[in-house]
Structure 1
Amino acid sequence: MSDTLRIATYNLQKCVGLDMRRRPDRSLQVINALKADIVILQEADKRLPPRPAALPHDILNHHGWHILPFGQVGGSLGWHGNAMLVKGSVTMTDSQKLDLPGLEPRGAICAELETPIGPLRIIGTHLGLIRRYRLMQLSLLTRHMRDKGGMPTVLAGDFNEWGSKTALDAATPGVTFADTGHSFPAPRPIAALDAFALSKGIKVTDTQVHRERPAHIASDHLPVWIDIQRT
């Protein structure tokens, strides 16, 4: 069993870069450079129905990525634009998709995984733009974590929270936010929108905002990764 596992989160912005060019190959170049075991994606599908994948399935498969199934339809990568990729010996034992409250259509994906560091639950999400609804969404997700129980859990994604994560404490009992760096906007990051919250049983050993080219132009977000261990 390995000591550490790398998890990354990345808002693809539908593979449209700051140069306004849709370049799935460039987005994949950034994803591969993360050297992650698990990658949680946001805005992985195009906006209009049937919401086909912005990052084609075939090029992901060609590079050894497995797209976890969450009942996708119409060629989508995920649910409400949230998708999850795994590599190596990581396998899924259960999955669930969740609708989130709020004015905007938002959702989350939840996967129970067998990983090199043992069983792990990953929840990927893209929270709303209005804090009131973000707090409602986080309350639902942390309740889901408590109700499911029994497995260390990482909540990851674009939290859309510009300020300190302490503003979210009331809605996130029982989880701790990793101390990740600023990831937005990509050319000159000033906000840590992309984040990880961890339940008991997990500790972060390293974290980094990925700034290598072409990440600075491939999306308006930079990807962020953490290395974790079981405690």
Structure 2
Amino acid sequence: MTWNVHRAKGRDGKVQPERVEQAIAGVLAPYQPDILALQEADEERRPHARILDVARIASDTGLTYVHNRKELRWGPESDGFLGTILFLSDRFRQAEADVIDLPGHCHRGAIVIEAMAGDRHVRIMSTHLSLSQPLRVIQMRIIGQYLRRRPKMQTILLGDLNEWRPWRGLAFSRKIVGTQFAGPAKATFPTGLPILPLDRILTNAPGRVERVEVVDNPDTNAASDHRPLHGVVTVA
């Protein structure tokens, strides 16, 4: 599951982190997700200070907050890495954790967890990419170079990828990334009348995204300008 919480700024323009926390507890937690990826979940500007109660979110969802080392957070006042915060269920036995700096007009980044799911190796990568396609190409090229250096395993890529094209666009092509990510495109933005599939849940072979659905609920709709996206991914 992925959700751009827009720095807790709701459709009415008010910044109210408690609305995000309540929506996660009341709307998203009942889905019992194994992965919860939040974007824009720290302040936008340096020092990218925390805005959410991550301990409450972990308790309400039964998930583990993975940024337990300072190297996995942007700074001492942050909960995530450039606004990206990841929570995982106990189904995943974490082996490695890393962050990737990505260039752009706005500093971007990704959080990466390599884990075991049963007897399968799987990599979970959450990120928030640029609005600019040329910058997304550069950012995904860097991610592709990172993946080439890492052990080969199925990678689940999720987050606000800012790609409006249903066919994923140049940035997500095998030529740029070195692997083929795939998954359905469902419109998540803007909340009031979604027309753009900016938020995605993708994976590469041998896994497959079985289905995705956009969460349409008054509480989540009031809390952010993006709707959450829930998906089912086969780990193979």
Q: TM-score, normalised to structure 1's length? A: 0.88
1:84, distance to aligned residue in structure 2 (A): 0.4
Q: Which residue of 2 aligns with 1:143?
A: 145
1:17 to 7, 10, 17: 10
1:116, distance to aligned residue in structure 2 (A): 4.7
The one-letter code sitting in structure 1 at the alignment partner of 2:230 is: W
1:186, distance to aligned residue in structure 2 (A): 0.8
2:47 to 50, 56, 76: 50
3-state SS, counterpart of residue 214 of structure 1: helix
The one-letter code sitting in structure 2 at the alignment partner of 1:156 is: L
3-state SS, counterpart of residue 50 of structure 1: coil
The one-letter code sitting in structure 1 at the alignment partner of 2:222 is: I
1:59-102, Cα deviation, whole Å (9 max, x unpaired)? 12432332112522324221111110123333321111111123
Q: Does the aligned pair in 2 maintain the 1:117–1:230 contact within 8 Å?
A: no
Structure 2 runs not aligned, ≥5 long:
none
1:151, distance to aligned residue in structure 2 (A): 1.5
Q: Which moved more, 1:95-104 or 1:160-169?
A: 160-169
The one-letter code sitting in structure 2 at the alignment partner of 1:57 is: V
1:182-208, Cα deviation, whole Å (9 max, x unpaired)? 000011000000012312121122211
Q: Which moved more, 1:130-139 or 1:99-108?
A: 99-108
Q: Which moved more, 1:28-37 or 1:131-140?
A: 28-37
1:33, distance to aligned residue in structure 2 (A): 4.2
Q: Which moved more, 1:150-159 or 1:64-73?
A: 64-73
1:41 to 29, 33, 38: 38
Q: Does the aligned pair in 1 maintain the 2:123–2:153 contact within 8 Å?
A: yes
Q: CA RMSD in A?
A: 2.0
1:84 aligns with 2:86: yes
Q: Which residue of 1 aligns with 2:220?
A: 215
3-state SS, counterpart of residue 57 of structure 2: helix
Q: Which residue of 1 aligns with 2:232?
A: 227
Aligned residues: 224
Q: Which moved more, 1:81-90 or 1:153-162?
A: 81-90
Q: Which moved more, 1:27-36 or 1:148-157?
A: 27-36
1:30-50, Cα deviation, whole Å (9 max, x unpaired)? 342443111111101012333
Q: TM-score, normalised to structure 2's length? A: 0.86
- Deviant stretches of 4+, over 3 Å: none
Cα distance in 1, alignment partners of residues 59 and 77 from structure 2: 17
The structure-2 alpha-carbon separation of the partners of 1:25 and 1:65, relative to structure 1 and needing over 3 Å to count, comes to farther
Q: Which has a greater percent of helix?
A: 2
Cα distance in 2, alignment partners of residues 81 and 148 from structure 1: 24
2:66 to 43, 65, 68: 68
Q: Does the aligned pair in 2 maintain the 1:142–1:172 contact within 8 Å?
A: yes
Cα distance in 2, alignment partners of residues 117 and 214 from structure 1: 37
The structure-2 alpha-carbon separation of the partners of 1:117 and 1:225, relative to structure 1 and needing over 3 Å to count, comes to farther
The correspondence of residues 92-171 of structure 1 with structure 2, limited to 5 A, is 92-116=94-118, 118-164=120-166, 165-168=168-171, 169=173, 170-171=175-176
Q: Does the aligned pair in 2 maintain the 1:180–1:208 contact within 8 Å?
A: no
1:193 to 192, 195, 198: 198
